[in-house]
Structure 1
Amino acid sequence: MKQNIIMIIILVALFFFGLLIYDFSDNLDNSVINHEWYALDNEQMTVLSFEDNKFAYYLKENNEKITDYQNCSDFKYNRSINVIKLKCDVKVNKLYVSEINEDELILTIEGKEKIFYASEQLVAEAEFRKENNLTKKEFADLMNIDLSIFTMSNVSEITKLYKNKETKLIAFVSENNTIQNALNLKALDNFANNSTKPLLVINYQKIEKSELSNLVKYNNKLPKKVENFKEDKISLYLVGNKKFELFKDIEVNNYNDLNSYNEIAKNI
């Protein structure tokens, strides 16, 4: 009798467990359906969307649907097992949700993990970390742009320096929050720490139009407008003794090139 009761309990448990497994009537989280998700596939940007409870997976460049999912639009979701089931005739119609957070949607498709990101910028950052073998913390440290680590200057000081017999290096920088700018600033920091010549830094984004006009008098190759400064590089000028000459442009292509500016600084 006791064994029969145990068997009944087991069967009931299995019944309800089966209901959970096959119940695809849940709603996807708003954090998933409220925006598009991006990932690189064979160097092409792809977009995954569940907006308005409709599934779409396509190439961003031309909105062309990914071949295997051309006929897929409806889907169901089971929250208990974290599975999205596509209602279409495809070989693999189940997407297993491994993780959802503010920045990433991680799915397992055909046994392979695929990470989608909440923006194209996050895709670029992930690719950069992968190519340069950086952890998320190392990348965060790189992107922590802080100009206060440099000896900051202004147009008035540069004007005085131009008329002085002493020469110093002047770097025109910005606080643009881009990977390229972060790399350039890191290289500039390495350069400053190894340079035998004093280095001053000026944030060109804070230069007034009239101030820039005064500097152009000393070097007519300087940008005539603040918005004309190149955002993808840092220009170093040798200033002093009535000279205002371009010394070098800092433009770093990858993380491993940063240390090369140590040697350049030592050989001024």
Structure 2
Amino acid sequence: MSDTSSMFDIETLRRGIEMRDATAMRGLYAENALMTLVDQRDQPSHPHEISGAAAIGAFLDEICSRDMEHHLDQVVVSADGTHAAYLEQCRYPDGTKVMSTSMLDLRDGRIAAQTLVQAWDEASAGETGMTGATGATKAEHRAFASPDEVRPFEHGRLELVSAGGGMVGRATFEPGWRWSNDVKPLAGTEMCEAPHFHYQTSGTLHIKMRDGTEFDVRAGEVAVIPPGHDAWVVGDEPVEMVDWQGAMHYAEKS
């Protein structure tokens, strides 16, 4: 008799995806599972990682709450039951389509690691993407006075608004703030791996890149900062900036 307890449950996967059953989907993941997402915003050099069954479950709850159709198109499981892959197609009420493909590492019939690569229609004005991107074909305006999310951290905070196809952040760093002291414990990386494209409205921010390059960014300047850097406030004036690229996952708990 074969041991069915270690087999990956394709029918539960299908029910979870097509019926938007987050509870069913949660049961497919190992406790210490890791989900890695790559798309237009979370590119291969800085993917979005979600670690642990609880965090993945919260992500699945949000996805399943959206008004959209999901269809499991193809599923392949290796003969030894250690790997699987599937193709998923989604459609929003406005016609926006999302396609994603996942590669799974399996352990005892549960997902230990998942790498998900997705793409979506860019022309639509509706919400798209498994990670929540939005199209930008309609006029809109937002105010940081009413942010969608506020992330506090030592000596600062980040305010986030959704606009124009993604998340825009306003960061405030108080005197004494340094990334390696105040954000590193949240990020769980040796250096800041978020890319930044920001306009600075006040203060002086010192940047030190992984390769040793150093420079100051001052009020009234635009900066492009690749992944792999430390940063700190210079002087007694708070630094405030608006970031169009690296805000979405900045100061998230790892």
Q: TM-score, normalised by structure 1?
A: 0.21
Between Structure 1 and Structure 2, the one with more strand by share is: 2
Larger radius of gyration: 1
Between Structure 1 and Structure 2, the one with more helix by share is: 1
